């Protein structure tokens, strides 16, 4: 069984509070790109994980690996040989680990002919895993457990850039000066990607400021995207350090990817269609 694990992009991310147990409350619009990792599972006597691909070196393979943790969530789990092709940078704010866990859940449910684990077990794997399990545009609220499908979004393309830097999510949240920020307004319908970008520009990623303090290169990445011809919006995704540029024209998105990759061969740069 083979499952795609598409990159998750936070088009905007508002931090609206913090619970007594320390978990932060979020209000975020989440979309996915046709860029990502791939999970393949085969029947086997025991559970095992092999990681290959261009970003494999950044991911330790141990019992705490999120893919193996996802496999063990199934009650009465059997054996399986899991191969993860790692294309997305590790700890980069685009939900790579969560997408891998979600793809593992979908693949093993098919392989073992079992229902997906219940929502509470899925959420315990990580706040982004429930959204990644759905894999379509969503409004994500609470600590990640409240998911509302978004109406049809206009066609758009995303250029993703990571400067080769892993930013620790707990450190970003710790540096956040205010935890009780305004929630998102209701999202209107959009006739095209330009209208969508104009509305998104009035929203925020509340984690961008703290992440910039910890990793100023994020500002350089955003500027490279913002000045690319055809870029409608440049913003950081999640807790960073990956930033995205939103484009209406796929040709301009590809040109931006090529130009930025040529200028900064040390950066991870990818381009893909926003999944709708």
Catalytic residues: 8, 128
Tokens of 128: 């982004």
Neighbours of 168 (CB within 10 A): 13
Question: Which ranges of the chain does DSSP label H, i.e. alpha helix?
Answer: 66-73, 96-111, 119-125, 129-134, 169-174, 193-201, 208-214, 217-226, 250-263
The span from the CA of 17 to the CA of 24, in Å, is: 6
**C-alpha dist (Å) from residue 236 to 7, 26, 40, 73, 172:** 14, 16, 30, 31, 13
* Burial class of residue 62, CB neighbours in 10 A (0-12, 13-18, 19+): exposed
Residue 255: CB atoms within 10 A of its CB come to: 17
Q: How many beta carbons lie within 10 A of that of residue 11, not counting itself? A: 26
């Amino acid at each position: 069984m083979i499952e795609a694990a598409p990159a998750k992009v936070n088009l905007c991310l508002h931090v609206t509070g913090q619970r007594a147990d320390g978990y932060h409350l979020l209000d975020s619009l989440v979309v996915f790109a046709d860029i990502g990792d791939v999970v393949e599972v085969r029947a086997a006597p025991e559970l095992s994980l092999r990681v290959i691909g261009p970003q494999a070196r950044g991911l330790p393979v141990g019992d705490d690996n999120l893919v193996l943790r996802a496999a063990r969530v199934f009650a009465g789990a059997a054996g399986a040989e899991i191969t993860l092709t790692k294309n997305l940078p590790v700890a980069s704010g685009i939900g790579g680990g969560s997408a891998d866990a979600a793809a593992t859940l979908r693949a093993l449910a098919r392989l073992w002919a079992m229902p997906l684990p219940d929502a509470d077990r899925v959420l315990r794997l990580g706040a982004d895993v429930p959204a990644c399990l759905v894999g379509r545009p969503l409004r994500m609220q609470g600590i990640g457990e409240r998911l509302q499908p978004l109406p049809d979004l206009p066609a758009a393309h995303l250029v993703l850039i990571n400067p080769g830097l892993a930013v620790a999510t707990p450190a970003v949240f710790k540096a956040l000066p205010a935890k009780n920020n305004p929630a998102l307004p209701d999202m209107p319908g959009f006739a095209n990607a330009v209208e969508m970008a104009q509305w998104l520009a009035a929203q925020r990623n509340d984690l961008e400021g703290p992440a910039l303090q910890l990793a100023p290169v994020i500002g350089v990445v955003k500027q490279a995207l913002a000045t690319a011809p055809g870029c409608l919006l440049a913003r950081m995704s999640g807790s960073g350090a990956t930033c995205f540029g939103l484009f209406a024209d796929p040709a301009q998105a590809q040109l931006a990817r090529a130009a930025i990759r040529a200028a900064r061969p040390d950066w991870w740069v990818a381009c893909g269609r926003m999944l709708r």
